[in-house]
């Protein structure tokens, strides 16, 4: 795992706990941005539930909500569960159906934080290496040699532009693989392909 790699979820996961007759349902989902998080919060909320408490983290940005529970007893412990497992780009919604027995502040913190932590612990995870945008310039007669190489390294589509001097190809790769791609292109084109790191 690279120095700036990020651990996130490889899919959604649900965990259910019954605590003193209250039912806590934790749903953890991967998210790509704050905007996506807001949409997912709306989609995950259960209008029939007593409380829909959540937290999410996307890089340095985070949000949490106690949704009517005493301040600091729900959203913050859910965020602590996310941060405690060093996860990023993650949203956790914990929905509570009240069972008639009050848990007290400490009990709520343990219930919300513990349910979120168990859900995240069980959830499938993946490592995302930081990416970079690169531009490859090559002569026309090297297209057959370079496309298979670029396809191996590209994260998503290869965006070509054709000029009189040859194709200019934009693609996103894992940052840690820049040198390997540079070397592979140089070998395949006898040094006639040029690669530039954009971001």
Q: 105-138 pLDDT, tens per residue? A: 999 999 999 999 999 999 999 988 778 899 999 9
Render 52-85 in DSSP notation, one character per residue.
EEEEEEETTEEEEE-TTSPTTSSHHHHHHHHHHT
Q: What is the pTM of this model?
A: 0.71
- CA dist 162 and 7 (Å) reads 37
Residue 29 has pLDDT above 90, yes or no: yes
Q: Quick check: do 6-127 and 131-197 share a fold? A: no
- CA dist 162 and 143 (Å) reads 11
Name the burial class of residue 158, with classes exposed (0-12), middle (13-18) and buried (19+) by CB atoms within 10 angstroms of its CB.
middle
Nearest to 15 by CA among 126, 124, 128: 124
Angle between the N-to-C axes of helices 104-122 and 75-84, in degrees from 0 to 180, rounded to the nearest 10: 40
* 135 or 5, higher pLDDT: 135
Q: 67-103 pLDDT, tens per residue? A: 999 999 999 999 999 999 999 999 999 999 999 999 9
Average pLDDT rounded to a whole number, residues 10-33 = 96
Residue 36 has pLDDT above 80, yes or no: yes
According to CATH, what is the number of the domain 131-197?
3.30.70.240
Sequence ranges of the domains in the chain: 6-127, 131-197
Task: Fold for 6-127, please state it.
Answer: Ribosomal Protein S5; domain 2 (3.30.230)
């Amino acid at each position: 795992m690279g120095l700036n790699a990020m651990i996130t979820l490889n899919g959604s996961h649900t965990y259910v706990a019954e605590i003193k007759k209250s039912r806590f349902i934790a749903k953890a989902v991967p998210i790509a941005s704050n905007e996506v998080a807001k949409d997912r919060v709306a989609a995950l909320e259960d209008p029939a539930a007593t409380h829909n408490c959540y937290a999410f983290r996307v890089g340095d940005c985070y949000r949490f909500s106690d949704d009517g529970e005493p301040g600091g007893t729900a959203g913050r412990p859910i965020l602590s569960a996310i941060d405690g497992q060093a996860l990023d780009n993650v949203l956790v919604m914990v929905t509570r159906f009240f069972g008639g027995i009050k848990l007290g502040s400490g009990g709520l913190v343990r219930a919300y934080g513990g349910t979120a932590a168990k859900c995240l612990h069980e959830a499938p995870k993946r490592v995302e290496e930081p990416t970079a945008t690169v531009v490859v310039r090559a002569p026309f007669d090297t297209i057959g040699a370079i496309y298979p190489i670029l396809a191996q390294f590209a994260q998503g589509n290869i965006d070509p532009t054709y000029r009189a001097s040859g194709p200019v190809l934009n693609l996103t790769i894992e940052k840690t693989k820049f040198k390997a791609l540079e070397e592979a292109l140089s070998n395949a084109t006898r040094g006639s392909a040029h690669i530039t790191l954009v971001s």
